[in-house]
Structure 1
Amino acid sequence: MKATQQLHDLGQSLWLDNITRTLLDDGTLARYIAEDSVTGLTSNPSIFDAAIGGGDAYDAGIHAKSLAGLSGEDLFMELALEDLRRAADLFKPVFDATHQVDGWVSMEVSPLLAADTAGTIAAADAIHAQAQRPNLFVKIPGTPEGIPAIEEAIFRGIPINVTLLFSCEQYLAAAEAYLRGIERRVAAGLDPQVASVASLFISRWDVAANPQLPAELHNTLGIAVGKQSYRAYRALLASPRWLKLAAAGARPQRLLWASTGTKDPNISDTLYVDALAAPDTVDTVPEKTLHAVADHGKPGAVLAPDGGDADTVLAAIAKAGVGIDALALKLQQDGAEAFVKSWKQLLQRIADKQAALAAKGKEPLAR
């Protein structure tokens, strides 16, 4: 049995961390669904930047939208949502069969809003309305300014994928925001079933920490933080606070492993996926990692609800001189800055394509 099927049978959702128009047009995404147990996907500015810049698949769409008077973020949003609506429709049978637990796609708010709570809420409202798909998450970063936006969006009934979480503490802040949003809905007599996932980034820990650590501790920090966060996740789901909401009809915010492609060529290309097998979680994987897991993945023992050896590993890493709390904050800040860079690059790429298409003799761009 393929490892992808093993993970699916265990109760872990495997989502693709990529989307391109070509994946949709040539049937590749449909094949991943049929053959590799892929039950959702995620996107971010870096993914769309690579997709739009990687060929001419978007040229016709860019030109048509230019003629309609669109440019900048408005044009990009239309392009992205065209792809995500198609992907959402492919996953709709999974969405229906799992009673809306699985089968999701994700669209991120502008990274330029990372420090703007009110702007993030307005953007989440707009994306949710424009998408017109029940199985589309709006991605909001779990930054200090993003946390109140997450609570408010959940209260408004917008499904949220909380992104850019690195530590257990950051995960718990996102989980608290979700709980508060659901509690407010219950108090207001609203339907408590608003879906959410909390995306904890794994591999970036090791990229940052390995140079400061002895060889025996290389590539252990990300998994240890994952185990620590899984313990917190399980404890939350067993808490009286959550059980009260569950009795009212609420559904858990699922813990999601993000950034699970390996960056170190000296380790297994399925290390993080194999190590983080756990029920009631999601794992998002790049295409390269998906192929590796389907070919030779070997999921290990299911994560222990008590965190296993997480505390021991984290203590050894701290003793070796890595300030874990400070590094978590830096990773979140660096991640936000990287998405801003990709966002600006993406918008410039679209503008350049508009200009190039006009120069090739296309009709003049609408002003």
Structure 2
Amino acid sequence: MPAVHTVLVVGSGLAGTATAIHLADGGVAVELAELEPAVTTLGSGITLQGNALRELRALGVWESVREKGYSFDSLGLRAPDREGTLLAEIPDARTGGPDLPAALGMPRPDLARILHERAAAAGAKIRFGRTVTALDQDAGGVGVTFSDGTTGRYDLVVGADGIRSSIRGLLGIEAATRATGMGIWRAFGPRPASVTRTDLFYGGPSYIAGYCPTGEDSLYAYVVEDAQDRSGLSREERLATLRELASAYHGPWDDIRATLTDPSRVNYTWFETHLLPAPWHRGRVVLIGDAAHSCPPTLAQGGAQALEDAAVLTELLLAADTLGDGVWTAFTDRRCARAAAVVEASVQLGQWLLDHVQGDVPGLMGRIAALVAQPA
């Protein structure tokens, strides 16, 4: 018998939906509460490294993901010169194993729909348009009050509600995010034939200019600059700013820039990070994914770490007879140090750029690849 019979998962991002799928497959009654009114249709793209693909395969959605996404096995480094000269093509580590691609890009909305459909098919009850406003737990369970006034009681509550987690706040845990000093422009658009993998341009007027194919006909492109207050710009001004920054980069960027015409498909955010000290649970409430740890996208590991949290947590819950110290000790041992290493490495890569220091980037990336190549 699993350690829990009824579970509330708050937040239906990668960590939350993966948790709901695993638990529902294991016979647990799962409710998935999501503040948004429906599966989001917004967003650009996401890069999923091999260890994320390994977890998606375990969730039973790999074939659907492969069909919607764009796989590749190398990373290109290009110069910020007039030709966008290719400096190196580096085989990427297959951290999910030799039978999976090194990386895959796909539209975020497609990934969200695939996971939500899988969760519903597994038997999870997805409740849109509500979240949790109060928690009242005792030794036997957690009483929950929802934003629509309804209540419920569960053996366990999983807070997977993102970087600004309301569950974290209800637990009284202070874990304010920290801006790292970088801001990123992202645009989603058509994929030119010249884009067949992620290429990174270092230098020029920005720290990084890159792109990732997300399907046969789509990609997302990005430019990383010093973090600035860009909130006063109109949508048209945001597009113009991105196009101006991107004008310093050539090669495939010339093809991409010609397609950047829709202001509604451009967004700007700051890189942020936080890491919740162990343990990530308080009684019968546990935080996972961005609610517990977040990192800038310099290693493209955010989604993978969220999926790993869900996999390890649910494995332990389904294998144990009771929800006790053994479960939490094992979860802490398997997840906290590993996630911390990824967060710290992701921040370090950006800090070297901010400080204009040539750090040991290959060594750092190699260490993290070796770490995440081992199942969590």
- Fold equivalence (TM over 0.5): no
Bigger helix fraction: 1
Bigger strand fraction: 2
TM-score of the pair, normalised by structure 1: 0.29
TM-score of the pair, normalised by structure 2: 0.29
